[in-house]
Structure 1
Amino acid sequence: AAQVFAEGLNAGTTVHVSILDSKGKGVATTSAKGSNGVVLKTSVANAAQWTSETPNLYKAVVTLKNGTKTIYQTNEKFGFRTIEVRRGDGIYVNGLQVKMKGVNRHVWWPETGRSVNPQIDLADVQLIKEMNMNAVRCSHYPPDKAFLEYCDSLGLYVINELAGWQKAYSTKAGEPLVEEMVKRDLNHPSIIFWANGNEGGTNKALDDVFTKWDFSGRPVIHPHHRPGNHFGGIDCNHYEDYYSTKKILEDSLIYMPTEFLHSQDDGGAGAAMSDFWELHWGAKRSGGGFLWALVDEAIVRTDYNNVLDANGLNANDGIVGPYRQKEGSFFALKEVFSPVKIRMENLPQIFDGRIDVENRFHFTDLSQVSFQWALVNYRKPWDALAGYTVEKRGVTTSPSVAPGAKGTVQVQLPADYKAYDALILAAMGPDKKEIYKWTWKVKPAEALLSGVVFSSDSTASVAETDTTYLLWGGQNSLVLDKRTGLLLSTKNAAGDNLSFRNGPVLVQGDATLTGSRRFKEGKSEVVEFTYSGALKWVRWKMQGNGWADMDYEYELNGSYPFAGVSFSYPQNFVLGVKWLGKGPYRQWKNRLQGTPVNVWQNLYNNTHTSYNPIVYPEFKGYYGEVSWMEFSTVEGKFYVASKDTGLYVRLFDFYGLSGARPHPELPVGNISFL
């Protein structure tokens, strides 16, 4: 059905509506005598339905005729879809329950503030889709029509919101604003909710005004930040923690927070989102939710040498930067929200090519998703480039797995697959764009060090004074302090002393040196320190080729956020690092997603997320699953490697939030191996 508003028509004027499909083919027509608010009805056989996964659009061509003469013509795109709130149950589109993987979007660009162009609108929709999201809240005002048109054509569910923040309009002021917004935007199939204000800015007398002007009768919601303000069967309460979220989801209302996990600086957004999303995905009465927010709102200050100014911490709350620079949470969310869910963390020792998969699409069978695999070898520290080389690749037959069901992807690997470093599996959606790419190491950690750490037939040497041990092998030497058990200095014959020292210091527990000794182990020289307390012993072994092994044993009882040892190095001496491990963005304990194992390299920077100057990825942080790391410094290069799994390297001091103490607090020292 269509409702046409026209004024000043002659008695003989008729309204004709033709409906065209995406190829321009006419699929239905209808007409009626012209009058203001005339309703025309017709039917379309086997209409292709609109959803965020299948954004099928039709065009309505509306013509005013006086007899056979056309006096006016216009057209507008629309889609066929239903939206239904089933109280105590969930949100349904076209009869199927859906959950919003959403984000709040402020309209913003650094040079123009809240004035943007269609190219920026399109880029924002594409960014949201790239994160595997399916929804956006237009906070806190209706967007330009171009943005809604892109949501229609690319597929995003939209909350369209009455302009305002935390103060409600009077009924007299609000009624014409609601009428204008609804009339302008009601034909967009992407809009599934109207939002009546925000966080206390709701005049409940306006609820019926939305319904009055919306011919399709979309639901109205009340975004709010105080419990007890649910409306229409949906609770939108903002910023609940994990445990209160769980409690609300176990109650009788549908819970769809219209703001949560505030993305200030490098917090929120992807941090903790994996836990939150698994909670929402598994809860019957969850409607999903909307993260705050998409973009850091920094403005170019032409009065201050064009610096980017976000008013302190007031507007550094985006998943992407002001110029849409992708922060670490962007990639974490891309994995968390992937509609192709793969939980396998490590490749089984005996691998038959079967990978368990869950289909988290709402409307798409996995037979419409394509899968490609590759066997790769990682580059070495001294290679000019980072990354890997693809040695073999193939295509996997896509399994038929219905939405919400689980199945198996069968990868047909060659018999010699264990000769390669890693397996990569990429999933491509029906639109041929990447959904996500998973990486699993094939070789064990020690084998990945082949060609990096060499054994040696050469003989190492040792010298001892009253206070030190001097170990050397090949071109390298190190000095250990007998009185403390700590590394004093290291040196390569071709360079000056390296300032990597003052370790190992145990990051948890105490340690009191009780003794030391030196002895030979084959052609290597060993110095061992013994301790009382949590640290039991530390053993340094110098090989004849210059590689020094450090092993240690400790014992802790209780619960600790991390364990390991630290050293120190002057931060201003560092030029950059290259490493085989997770990256290129740092990880948090509650944001491990979106960081595949690869060979990465970062130049040193001292950026604080979202603050000027903006540099991504951030250099300082925790980096996981490290096999080796090359430090480039003003004193030369040095290397750290481990044949153990699960090694995290901490680089210097860093913070997730401005003014907040890190939790857990950072380890002692400034370079840690955890």
Structure 2
Amino acid sequence: MLLGISFSVWGQGDIEYKRVYLSGKDASETVDWDFKVTDGANSGVWSKLPVPSNWELHGFGTYNYGHDHRNENRKLGKEHGMYRHKFQVPAQWKGKTINIVFDGSMTDTRVIINSRSAGEMHQGSFYRFKYDITKLLKYGQENILEVDVAKHSANKSVNRAERQADFWIFGGIFRPVFLEVLPNHHFTRTAIDAKHTGEFNALLTLNKPISKGLVKVTLFSPEGNRVGEILSKSFERRKNELMISGSFNTIKSWNPESPHLYTALFELLEKGKVVYQKRERFGFRSVELRENDGIYVNEQRVIFKGVNRHSFWPETGRALSEENHLEDIRLMKEMNMNAVRMSHYGPDERFLELCDSLGLFVLDELTGWQDAYDTVVGPKLVKELILKDENHPSVVIWDHGNEGGWDFANEKWFHRYNIQKRPIIYPWLKRNGVDTRHYPTYGYGINRLSNGNEPFMPTELLHGLYDGGHGAGLDDFWKNYSVHPMFSGGFLWVFSDEAVVRRDRDNTLDSDGNHAPDGIVGPYREKEGSFYTIKEIWSPVQISPRTITSNFDGRLALTNTYLYTNLDQCTFSWELRSTSGFNETMVLASGTAKGPDIAPGETKYLQLEIPKNIEQGNIFSFTATDNKGMEIYTWNWPIKQPDQIAYELLQQIESDLEKGQIEVVEEKNGLKININELGFVFNRENGHLDEVSFQEKPISFNGGPLPVGIETLVKDVKWWIDKEGSFVLETCYDTYPEKIRWELLPTGLLRLEVSPLNFSADAIDFIGISFNYPENKVKGIKWMGQGPYRVWKNRTKGAEIGVWEKEYNNTITGASFDNLVYPEFKGYHGNLFWAELRTEELPIRIITETPGLFLRLYIPADPEHIAGGVAPPFPNGDISFLYEIPPIGTKFKQADKLGPSSQKSSIAHHKGDRSDPIVLWFDFGGKLP
């Protein structure tokens, strides 16, 4: 028995590769080691620390963000972590080779076994390193492991590359530690190069030369069936390296849409006897950078739809669990991404295994945020990065640092170990045949994308901050860039907010101002609005723009933007939905359709068998599902226009209301109107609704309609009772609107009509009308329109027409980590049909007849650390009904740099135009069905 060891073995028998864990396998399965930190919180005392972990997340040492080295007011923690762990080694291991392996330790790491050094100190945080400790062990006895981990390196270039970076700086053994138990002769490297054609090559190195040795490779399918085998020639005398080659004719290639994996059993034979076995899981796939063309995988030109991902979880730092990896990959796949960039270091072994099996392209990166490793440490770390990750088919590109984090002299080491000849790129540079410029503008760039001749692939795109970036502007960028033959995709910055739990601050979440909150999802993977925008824009099934009306014949034009998958492998379904009053949608009819034969890049029609009475429904919903049964995207279209929905609702309402006699009392500053149990006060100076009451109880809706978006003055206010007994009040303005007309019906319903945009103007942020209602009295809202997330002018995709409902919240996107509730309540909402504002008083119900109207709910609070273009303007008032809303920018770019939908709007009018007025109906009596 091995005592004091997290005992988990890979491989069985004396000749197989064995892995025995001294730590836990990941952050969810740890082993406590003795621990002492030299400085900071809880320093100077031996206690226990789970391994793997970052010690700050367990109350030790000092928290630092990478920029802290610039701030004289912040203590820069340079503590050491001292580890001790006892373990037994079986006597039968004597005669074998025993390696101790560290998958990641931050950063300078000295390893002592039984008071003797295991080897030279390792420098560099994110890399696998190992020591042969065969001669240091006591077999059949207890052994003592001691590890000294320095949070900061003695090598200045390591600090510049890793410790002075734009991310959290942690300390500790944050990835597993294990023993490799190996026979006397074994492979030290099994590097596979397996092409999509079935061609198979493997470079094998031995720990020492072997007499009359050769290698057999047996290939197994995912189901475990034997596919075939290859037998090598003998090793040359006194040589410990061999290339074995062959081919397999019946394989299926690997790609992210169909990630077929195989297992190769490598057997080392000496004089015909197997002396060592090791299994490698891999995929057959080819990667090629074609000059002045693009990046090809399996002869298919690739468009990367990707995101940057840090290894991060709020409560465990960079020590992650299986579930953390799975959740991140699932969310990326749900957004219809096909790629992920490792920013800015190699990931956990398990993350790449899951990318292999679930299907994602990976850009694997040598650390160097904006400064490089030197030519002493750098070559060692290049080797460690490649040898750990080289057999993963998901890894298609090596990144040599980031934004200046490279020393060009170290590139040769990539070429030395890179047997698959993967492209080697420099994120932000135009170099090695690829232009990876970070944060390009919409109109980028002279002699680059617009008329350049090298593949263009921004490895950081649309730097998000709070609710800006990511989805905002992405549709314009993608459409514009995609028409260029050199466009090869891009990687959004970044996947998740990186707010860390501060054990030194009562477990609050800290994002170091606006440095860490950049994500499409929150720190606990809460989905922001851009999540669904990206999901629609990057859907591999695209639908040609169209409207759905009662004349819809069931034909939809589908474009296949997959790289490898025919749409005949997908399924499609539809639903015809109806609404009744202010209720949820109901399914009237539904159906399915098999995917048509549409190859990647083609557009063809899909014919749906839909009912003839489609006009009975209000919403037509269409869902695309992939060959694994996962939803690709669901599109919703309104069948009826707002005036048609309004007509149906008003018919229902009026059938339940009794007519009464309107009473008007003229007061000095107002007109007091009573009808049935309702009371209204209108301002005689400006025509605003000043007071509302029901059954003599006040309803605090008032202060409008206030014209917003343009300067205007009241010219005249007049009122009368018309021949139907309705109260009418008209206000005339000198610019917009020409006229506002209130009409209070004898039933108690209140109609508002604001004359259309019968003028011309430029540089419009928003335009329409506003009202007031106290925010502290709002409980929630139910509405028909786009939802459930808010929209911006340049981020309307991903918000679909439906009946939605949400409770009031005060979420500050990417900032209020103590109470992140999504979707956010406040903000702009698109394509309004009707709304029910739920309050502490009575429900306020509003119906519009105007197509394309935006509903604005209050003003979202600005985060403390605003930057760039992420704080768009809002109109005065609390609740607005608008023809136009503003766009939102990114951390680095104002909105006007993000494309056509991010520009301020103009109004153009010609005499005779029939423009849409804003028409609203208000019910304050709680009588809607």
User: Normalised by the shorter chain, which TM-score bucket?
Assistant: over 0.9
1:5-16 equivalence runs, <5 A: 5-16=205-216
Q: Quote the Cα distance in structure 2 between the aligned partners of 1:192 and 1:585.
A: 35
1:655: how far off?
Answer: 6.0
Q: Quote the Cα distance in structure 2 between the aligned partners of 1:266 and 1:145.
A: 32
1:345: how far off?
Answer: 4.5
Q: Deviations over 1:27-81 (max 9, x none)?
A: 2211222452211111111421111112111111111223453322111111111
1:625 to 831, 838, 842: 831
Q: Quote the Cα distance in structure 2 between the aligned partners of 1:18 and 1:662.
A: 56
1:281 to 463, 478, 482: 482
1:237: how far off?
Answer: 1.2
Moved more, 134-143 or 510-519: 510-519
CA RMSD of the aligned region, Å? 1.8
Question: Are 1:473 and 2:675 matched, yes or no?
Answer: yes
Change (3 A) 1:565 1:525: same
1:582: how far off?
Answer: 0.7
Q: Secondary structure at the match of 1:42?
A: strand
Q: Deviations over 1:390-448 (max 9, x none)?
A: 22111123211111111111111011121111111100011110000010111232332
Q: Quote the Cα distance in structure 2 between the aligned partners of 1:60 and 1:331.
A: 40
1:659 to 860, 866, 879: 866
Question: Are 1:89 and 2:298 matched, yes or no?
Answer: no
Partner of 1:428: 625
Partner of 1:144: 348
The residue type paired with residue 367 of structure 1 is D
Partner of 1:602: 806
Partner of 1:671: 879
Partner of 1:236: 436
Partners of 2:514 and 2:866 within 8 A in 1: no
1:306: how far off?
Answer: 2.1
Question: Are 1:18 and 2:222 matched, yes or no?
Answer: no
Partner of 2:891: none
Change (3 A) 1:459 1:580: same
1:550: how far off?
Answer: 0.5
Q: Secondary structure at the match of 1:610?
A: coil
1:89: how far off?
Answer: 1.6
1:305 to 485, 499, 506: 506
Partners of 2:714 and 2:731 within 8 A in 1: no
Q: Secondary structure at the match of 2:206?
A: coil
Partner of 2:897: none
Q: Secondary structure at the match of 2:610?
A: coil
Partners of 1:356 and 1:407 within 8 A in 2: yes
Q: Secondary structure at the match of 1:248?
A: coil
Partners of 1:505 and 1:567 within 8 A in 2: yes
Question: Are 1:540 and 2:742 matched, yes or no?
Answer: yes
1:656: how far off?
Answer: 7.4
1:403 to 586, 596, 600: 600
Question: Are 1:108 and 2:323 matched, yes or no?
Answer: no
Partners of 1:606 and 1:619 within 8 A in 2: yes
Q: Secondary structure at the match of 2:382?
A: helix
Question: Are 1:530 and 2:727 matched, yes or no?
Answer: no
Q: Deviations over 1:298-341 (max 9, x none)?
A: 11123333221111111000110111111111111000100101
Q: Secondary structure at the match of 2:548?
A: coil
Where structure 1 has 5 or more consecutive residues not aligned to the other structure, the ranges are none
Query: TM-score, normalised on structure 1?
Result: 0.95
Where structure 2 has 5 or more consecutive residues not aligned to the other structure, the ranges are 1-200, 883-929
1:599: how far off?
Answer: 1.2
1:434-583 equivalence runs, <5 A: 434-449=631-646, 452-453=649-650, 454-455=653-654, 458-465=659-666, 466-493=668-695, 496-507=697-708, 508-553=710-755, 555-559=758-762, 560-583=764-787
The residue type paired with residue 667 of structure 1 is P
Q: Quote the Cα distance in structure 1 between the aligned partners of 2:572 and 2:740.
A: 48
1:255 to 456, 461, 469: 456
Q: Secondary structure at the match of 2:738?
A: strand
Change (3 A) 1:488 1:379: same
Question: Are 1:635 and 2:823 matched, yes or no?
Answer: no
Q: Quote the Cα distance in structure 2 between the aligned partners of 1:605 and 1:556.
A: 38
Partners of 2:205 and 2:241 within 8 A in 1: yes
Q: Quote the Cα distance in structure 2 between the aligned partners of 1:400 and 1:121.
A: 35
Q: Deviations over 1:522-577 (max 9, x none)?
A: 24322222333322211111123321001121533112233210111211121111
Q: Quote the Cα distance in structure 1 between the aligned partners of 2:260 and 2:861.
A: 45
The residue type paired with residue 449 of structure 2 is L
Q: Quote the Cα distance in structure 2 between the aligned partners of 1:655 and 1:254.
A: 41
Q: Secondary structure at the match of 1:255?
A: coil
Q: Deviations over 1:217-254 (max 9, x none)?
A: 11100012xxxx31111011111111125863121221
The residue type paired with residue 673 of structure 1 is F
Q: Secondary structure at the match of 2:259?
A: coil
Q: Quote the Cα distance in structure 1 between the aligned partners of 2:714 and 2:376.
A: 76
1:5: how far off?
Answer: 1.6
The residue type paired with residue 208 of structure 1 is K
Q: Deviations over 1:230-286 (max 9, x none)?
A: 111101111111112586312122111110101111111001011111122222101
Partners of 2:712 and 2:733 within 8 A in 1: no
Q: Secondary structure at the match of 1:469?
A: strand
Q: Quote the Cα distance in structure 2 between the aligned partners of 1:514 and 1:179.
A: 80
Q: Quote the Cα distance in structure 1 between the aligned partners of 2:838 and 2:647.
A: 21
Aligned-pair identity in percent equals 37
Q: Quote the Cα distance in structure 1 between the aligned partners of 2:537 and 2:330.
A: 18
Question: Are 1:326 and 2:326 matched, yes or no?
Answer: no
The residue type paired with residue 670 of structure 1 is D
Q: Secondary structure at the match of 1:260?
A: coil
The residue type paired with residue 3 of structure 1 is L
Q: Quote the Cα distance in structure 2 between the aligned partners of 1:585 and 1:326.
A: 10
- Computing the radius of gyration from Cα coordinates, the structure with the larger value is 2
Partners of 1:141 and 1:161 within 8 A in 2: yes
1:24-63 equivalence runs, <5 A: 24-32=224-232, 33-34=234-235, 36-63=240-267
Q: Quote the Cα distance in structure 2 between the aligned partners of 1:241 and 1:536.
A: 39
Change (3 A) 1:575 1:403: same
Q: Quote the Cα distance in structure 2 between the aligned partners of 1:329 and 1:217.
A: 36
Q: Secondary structure at the match of 2:623?
A: strand
Question: Are 1:127 and 2:328 matched, yes or no?
Answer: no
Partners of 2:468 and 2:870 within 8 A in 1: no
Q: Quote the Cα distance in structure 1 between the aligned partners of 2:732 and 2:421.
A: 76
**Aligned residue pair count:** 665
The residue type paired with residue 621 of structure 1 is G
1:650: how far off?
Answer: 0.7
Q: Quote the Cα distance in structure 2 between the aligned partners of 1:662 and 1:139.
A: 23
Q: Deviations over 1:450-509 (max 9, x none)?
A: 66432356145030314322334343222101122111111111x621111111111123
The residue type paired with residue 4 of structure 1 is L
The residue type paired with residue 669 of structure 1 is G
Partner of 1:341: 542
Q: Quote the Cα distance in structure 2 between the aligned partners of 1:549 and 1:247.
A: 57
Q: Quote the Cα distance in structure 1 between the aligned partners of 2:722 and 2:740.
A: 16
Partners of 2:287 and 2:295 within 8 A in 1: yes
Change (3 A) 1:569 1:268: same
Q: Quote the Cα distance in structure 2 between the aligned partners of 1:329 and 1:301.
A: 28
Q: Quote the Cα distance in structure 2 between the aligned partners of 1:509 and 1:37.
A: 80
Change (3 A) 1:630 1:496: same
The residue type paired with residue 440 of structure 1 is W
Q: Secondary structure at the match of 1:194?
A: strand
The residue type paired with residue 17 of structure 1 is V
1:621: how far off?
Answer: 0.4
Q: Secondary structure at the match of 2:384?
A: helix
Q: Quote the Cα distance in structure 1 between the aligned partners of 2:591 and 2:416.
A: 56
The residue type paired with residue 866 of structure 2 is G
